[in-house]
Amino acid sequence: MYTSGTFFRAPVVSNTLRKALEPLLAKHRVDLGLWSHIHSYERTCRVLGHACVPPGAPEGTVHVVVGTGGGGLHAFRRPAGHDFAHWSRRRLQQYGFLRLRANTTDLNAEFVASESGQLLDHFALRKD
pLDDT tens by residue, 7-60: 656 667 778 888 999 999 999 999 999 988 778 889 999 999 989 999 888 899
pTM of the model: 0.87
Instruction: Select from 97, 103, 99 the least CA-distant residue to 123.
Output: 99
Alpha-carbon span 94 to 28, nearest angstrom: 32
